[in-house]
Amino acid sequence: MSRLYNSRKRILVTGGAGFLGSHLIDRLLALGHEVICVDNLFTGTKRNIEHLNAQPLFEFMRHDVTFPLYVEVDEIYNLACPASPIHYQHDPVQTTKTSVHGAINMLGLAKRLKCQILQASTSEVYGDPTIHPQTEDYWGNVNPIGPRSCYDEGKRCAETLFFDYHRQHGVQIKIARIFNTYGPRMHPSDGRVVSNFIVQALKGEAITLYGDGYQTRSFCYVDDLIDGLLRLMDSPPALTGPVNLGNPNEFTMRELARLVLSETGSSSPLVTQPLPQDDPKQRRPDITIAQARLGWAPKISLSEGLKPTIDYFQSSIGRSRDCLDAN
Ligand SMILES: NC(=O)c1ccc[n+]([C@@H]2O[C@H](COP(=O)([O-])OP(=O)(O)OC[C@H]3O[C@@H](n4cnc5c(N)ncnc54)[C@H](O)[C@@H]3O)[C@@H](O)[C@H]2O)c1
């Protein structure tokens, strides 16, 4: 029975004004649940949730998860954390605090409320992997003192905390290891490869490939990913995870660039720049567990998912031009 004494749940989404969080909230509201969105608006924006303002079942709270939070809810999705290197390296100490203190605060809340909590973990816990594709039992190859460590090690420590609260206090946990996800509402200038390439192509600027452009990534469309998070939250309590969620189809950066050029009709040239430190050469999820235990696999191909993503960036570039014109 939920706190509302009916089948509707009241659900907390931290990081709800961000890219993934705002899509998750759309889906939870569409399922008839009440949602409290907690966000400090570091990388998220009110624009991502402005269409929900008139929704009586939606509530926004500006709050930083590194401080304790007192709300009454039935479930918690913990997504609060900057996700792109530009943003998480901007204030690395705060990034670690967000992962670690944020996890402690949200787990403490889940413990008091005796409610289930899902952690948005990341494929970055595998670092620069030495096995390929990555299975959940791989412990990773992470530099603990590099510029990406605040994010990678912060997320690894959060996973440790989730399992210790589970073993020590009986908190019901779910851990999703999310691989590269893209779609509308990604931040246009956060340096992630899909948004970078699309914005460069739409503006007719050169497309920047780091290294030789033959390193690979797999890209999951946001709707598929949200479907995986909902299934994981609804799975039997014995399934704690970690569960990999991502699209196993692998593309080189050159292939992605060519696809973006053909979908946008752009003739931007490709240019190369040195590879950033600790950039993983290959990343691809093994999704056997998600397939077997959640009945989940991504359905949307890269070229299908790029279309709405490109439309979104086209309209946001248009909107920012309108703002400049108006000033
Ligand atoms: N998008 C991906 O490809 C991807 C991949 C792996 C993991 N993840 C994880 O999923 C989650 C969401 O990622 P996203 O892509 O939507 O990123 P995002 O930056 O768009 O969203 C993160 C949100 O968290 C908020 N936030 C940051 N610090 C906070 C704090 N201290 N208190 C409250 N709110 C805070 C931000 O303002 C933002 O709204 C993150 O935890 C990220 O690590 C995302």
65 lines ligand 1 (CB under 6 A): yes
Give the Cα separation of 247 and 279 in Å (integer).
19
Question: H or E element: which one contains 22?
Answer: helix 19-30
Average pLDDT, the chain: 93
For tokens 């007719």, the residue is 204
Residue 319: the pLDDT is: 64
Residue type present at position 96: T
Give the Cα separation of 309 and 307 in Å (integer).
5
- Token pair of 208, please? 């920047």
pLDDT greater at residue 241 or residue 192: 241
Residue 250: the pLDDT is: 92
CA dihedral 96, 194, 184, 324 (to 10 degrees): 90
Among 35-44, 179-188, 244-253, 316-325, the least confident range? 316-325
Write the pLDDT tens digit of every residue in 93-149: 999 999 999 999 999 999 999 999 999 999 999 998 999 999 999 999 999 999 999
Q: What does DSSP assign to residue 308?
A: H
Residue 1: the pLDDT is: 61
Active-site residue, 182 included:
no
Give the Cα separation of 29 and 244 in Å (integer).
25
- Token pair of 90, please? 């901007």
Residue 320: the pLDDT is: 59
E-assigned strand segments in the chain: 10-14, 34-39, 58-62, 75-78, 116-122, 173-178, 181-182, 207-210, 216-218, 220-221, 243-245, 250-252, 270-273
Residue 327: the pLDDT is: 32
- Ligand 1 mutation target, pool 42, 62, 71, 175, most atoms within 8 A of CB: 42
For residue 54, pLDDT over 90 is answered with yes
Tell me which residue of 68, 161, 67, 164 sits closest to 112, measured CA to CA.
68
Write the pLDDT tens digit of every residue in 145-202: 999 999 999 999 999 999 999 999 999 999 999 999 999 999 988 888 999 999 999 9
Closest ligand 1 atom to residue 187 Cα is: 20
18 lines ligand 1 (CB under 6 A): yes
Give the Cα separation of 256 and 292 in Å (integer).
29
pLDDT greater at residue 244 or residue 275: 244
Cα 80 to averaged position of ligand 1 atoms, centre (Å): 5
Tell me which residue of 100, 89, 240, 249 sits closest to 177, measured CA to CA.
240
64 lines ligand 1 (CB under 6 A): yes
Give the Cα separation of 117 and 177 in Å (integer).
14
**Distance set, CA 82 to CA 2, 90, 110, 320 (Å):** 31, 10, 22, 23
Residue 325: the pLDDT is: 39
What's the residue count for the chain?
327
Q: Are strands 34-39 and 10-14 parallel, antiparallel or unpaired?
A: parallel
Tell me which residue of 98, 85, 91, 97 sits closest to 14, measured CA to CA.
98
For tokens 């967000």, the residue is 98
- Please tell me the residue having the least CA distance from ligand 1 atom 44: 83
| N-term to C-term CA, the chain | 53
Q: What does DSSP assign to residue 135?
A: P
- Ligand 1 mutation target, pool 13, 14, 20, most atoms within 8 A of CB: 20
78 lines ligand 1 (CB under 6 A): no
Query: Which string of b and e fits 175-186 if b means at least 16 CB within 10 Å?
Result: bbbbbbbbbbbb
Residue type present at position 323: C
Closest ligand 1 atom to residue 44 Cα is: 39
For residue 324, pLDDT over 90 is answered with no
HSE value, Cβ hemisphere, 13 Å, CA-based, for 134? 32
Q: For residue 2, name the pLDDT band (cuts at 50, 70, 90).
A: confident
Give the Cα separation of 107 and 194 in Å (integer).
33
88 lines ligand 1 (CB under 6 A): no
- Token pair of 309, please? 């993503």
Q: For residue 62, name the pLDDT band (cuts at 50, 70, 90).
A: very high
- Please tell me the residue having the least CA distance from ligand 1 atom 18: 18
Give the Cα separation of 169 and 318 in Å (integer).
51
